[in-house]
Amino acid sequence: MKILVCISNVPDTTSKINFTADQKAFDTTGVQFVINPNDEFGLTRAMWFKEKQGATVHVATVGTAAVEPTIRKSLAIGADEGIRIDAEPVDGLFVARQLSEIVQKGGYDLIIAGRESIDYNGGMVPGMMAAMLDMNFINTCISLEVEENKAIGVREIDGGKETLETSLPLIIGGQKGLVEESDLRIPNMRGIMMARQKKLTVVPPVDAAEGTLDVRFEKPEPKGAVKLVDPENIDELIQLLHKEAKVI
């Protein structure tokens, strides 16, 4: 089985978010980037298929040379080969088009993408890829088993879970639950050294129109100051809740 894991290079969740002076772009100054968490669950599941079933695992991402440390980390975790599409990931449609081209040329049986990236939370790339490639698709996937040409996936739905059976080739939008958090892997020294020798191919982007344009970014309004009330002064608390908060 040949697996492609689509990864995004996203800001660490502890990063302080700022925008450029014109408010039209994300300011990356001083920001540390990591593998998108939803993609990391998918990569870990792919490693299970590699170890248990002898699968070949490739990783692919759209980005400039700045994303290569993230690809190298994926290789250190155990992926066999990395692919970087040399372009800025301007929007979900553009990214889906680039990754679909890699899938078409690579002959992959299983494509694992994250349900969404944690930077823009678009949640659109795996579904768009499935439509472009006319492949079976399971979104919000929290469990996946593959035997020969058959796949059984479990996905979250409102109020419960749904179990689906389908055939390969298959695209999934994975998330937390695909593996446990305790199963996520930290590259060891041997993996880091081996990653330096693994193939990382840089390919040019295919022509694809941008579907959206970022006009302006704005931060949420800052939260108001907190008022502390003496626990013995119930009358003051009631007055504040009634007249200022207007919740009673």
User: 52 lies in a domain?
Assistant: yes
Q: Is residue 159 part of a domain?
A: yes
pTM over cut 0.85: yes
Residue 17 has pLDDT above 90, yes or no: no
Structural domains of the chain, count: 1
In this model, does residue 29 exceed pLDDT 90? no
User: How far is 61 from 186, CA to CA, in rounded Å?
Assistant: 20
- Give the model's confidence band at 62: pLDDT under 50 very low, under 70 low, under 90 confident, else very high: very high
Supply the range of the domain harboring residue 42.
2-216
Residue 52's CATH number: 3.40.50.620
**CA 53 and chain centroid, separation:** 24
Residue 122 lies in a domain: yes
Long-range contacts of 212-218 (CB under 8 A, 24+ apart): 212/90, 212/91, 212/92, 212/93, 214/24, 214/25, 215/24, 216/23, 216/24, 217/19, 217/23, 217/24, 217/25, 217/26, 218/23
